[in-house]
Structure 1
Amino acid sequence: MPKLRIAVLASGSGSNLQAIIDRSVAGGLDAEIVLVISNNPDAGALTRAKQAGIRQMCIDHRQFASRSEFDRAVVAELQAAGAELIVLAGFMRIISDIFLAAFPDRIINIHPALLPAFPGLHVHRKALDYGARFSGCTVHFVDGGVDTGPIIIQAAVPILEADTEDSLAARILEQEHKIYPQAIQWFAEGRISIEERRVKVRGIVPASGAQISPALEMAE
């Protein structure tokens, strides 16, 4: 059976891209990264792709007169590469209707919070300022809103008393590297469906255990 052809869009260091590459090399991913695109010529993601022997290119948004021209240029490259699933890995550009029309229900993103809580930017600071007991990460389909698409998988991470933005981000990132490749694998296996806005994963039973923070005091 042919592997799912995926393309990764990234603007930064590409640590989630690396997690996907590592999962693929280990034989745990029925998907092939056919293209990595960045809008940032200095993105570490481009270096990671090159080191892995993956085709990569920079399409600098600053070289285009409008957002729509940039989006059309990126979509054209994705289509030329035969990409079947678009994976956003720290891509710091708004996904427009041009992308959504070209790849309906075939664009996924990872967000470093438990959506619908704390969408957008500066999420770790928001969680700490709010006094949340848990944060985490979410893989979701991309729609026309900001981090509003149907949720595929989430990982919860307790917020510790001594946490800073950096320490919380680091622990959440560990979970991102686990759940993003898993979501891609489910898609590659054809096990994901969307009913209204609820994502169903065939053969997977939702977790039923509760996490409580701070821990309960048990009566003697």
Structure 2
Amino acid sequence: MPHPSPSRLVVLVSGSGTNLQALLDACADPAYGAEVVAVGADRDGIEGLARAERAGIPHFVHRVKDFDQRSEWDHALAETVAEHRPDLVISAGFMKLLGPDFLARFGGRVLNTHPALSPSFPGMHGPAEALAHGVKVTGCTLFVVDEGVDTGPIVAQAAVEVLDDDDVETLHERIKVSERQLLVDTIGRMAREGFTIDNRKVRIG
């Protein structure tokens, strides 16, 4: 079902927030169909939070080290995100795995990107592993977060050619450009047209 009003996005960040900025820029157009209603982080003093501040968007920080147990952090994060009534939660360079409490609350509505064509090269070093493996094409994946590491249902993918003179940095930079475009385009479609998940098949519209 298409969404009658703008979809509410809560964006989680850990660093510079370039994906967040791409979403903020897209949301400035009313036709995009979504709005960022809050930004959350696991660290203080990052550019991602400064971007939220400049845009006048509510933001919050939950640091893992401020909690006795990881599960308490996960619960607190879920509680704070819930206060903003998100339709979608976007993990945009958020470098923490979301736990069972969070996924029980928002499962099927949490999206993340990965700098490889899943299921290839999961984890932190997708571009480096693609380069080491000698693949000619890699890319990026937008997926629905589940309990695994980069294992959730795939929403969209984009291919990026590996050039003969690529190093990890140049390849990763081109993947990130493609990743931002994929994120913005797909989140907009999901916001405007709605989506369903049937087993592992994600259908938009």
Range class of TM-score, shorter chain: over 0.9
**Gap regions ≥5 residues in structure 1:** 203-220
Q: Show CA shifts across 1:84-125 (max 9, x none).
A: 211000111111111111012110101111100011011111
Helix, strand or coil for the counterpart of 1:70?
helix
Correspondence 1:151-190 to 2 at 5 A: 151-190=154-193
Q: CA deviation at 1:29?
A: 2.1
1:87 to 86, 90, 96: 90
Are the aligned partners of 1:124 and 1:165 in contact in 2 as well (CA < 8 Å)? yes
Q: Indicate how the Cα distance of structure 1 residues 95 and 167 shifts in structure 2: closer, same or farther if over 3 A, else same.
A: same
Q: CA deviation at 1:191?
A: 3.3
Matched, 1:60 2:63: yes
Distance in 1 (alpha carbons) for counterparts of 2:188 and 2:26: 10
User: Structure with the greater relative contact order (CA < 8 A, sep ≥ 6): 1 or 2?
Assistant: 2
Q: CA deviation at 1:190?
A: 3.8
Aligned partner letter, 2:146: D
Matched, 1:117 2:120: yes
Are the aligned partners of 1:29 and 1:181 in contact in 2 as well (CA < 8 Å)? no
Report % sequence identity: 39
Are the aligned partners of 2:34 and 2:191 in contact in 1 as well (CA < 8 Å)? yes
What is the root-mean-square deviation in Å for CA atoms of aligned residues? Answer: 1.2
Helix, strand or coil for the counterpart of 1:183?
helix
Q: CA deviation at 1:28?
A: 4.5
2:202 to 176, 199, 204: 199
Q: CA deviation at 1:146?
A: 0.6
Matched, 1:134 2:137: yes
Instruction: Give 4+ residue runs of structure 1 displaced > 6 Å after superposition.
Output: none
Distance in 1 (alpha carbons) for counterparts of 2:196 and 2:190: 9
Distance in 2 (alpha carbons) for counterparts of 1:114 and 1:170: 15
Higher alpha-carbon Rg: 1
**Gap regions ≥5 residues in structure 2:** none
Helix, strand or coil for the counterpart of 1:189?
helix
Q: Structure 1 residues 167-176 or 25-34, which shifts more?
A: 25-34
Specify the alignment match of 1:214 in structure 2: none
Q: Show CA shifts across 1:169-204 (max 9, x none).
A: 1111111111101221222124321121011223xx
Distance in 2 (alpha carbons) for counterparts of 1:129 and 1:166: 13
Q: Show CA shifts across 1:57-110 (max 9, x none).
A: 111111111111101111111111112211000111111111111012110101
Distance in 1 (alpha carbons) for counterparts of 2:178 and 2:45: 26
Q: Structure 1 residues 185-194 or 61-70, which shifts more?
A: 185-194
Specify the alignment match of 1:149 in structure 2: 152
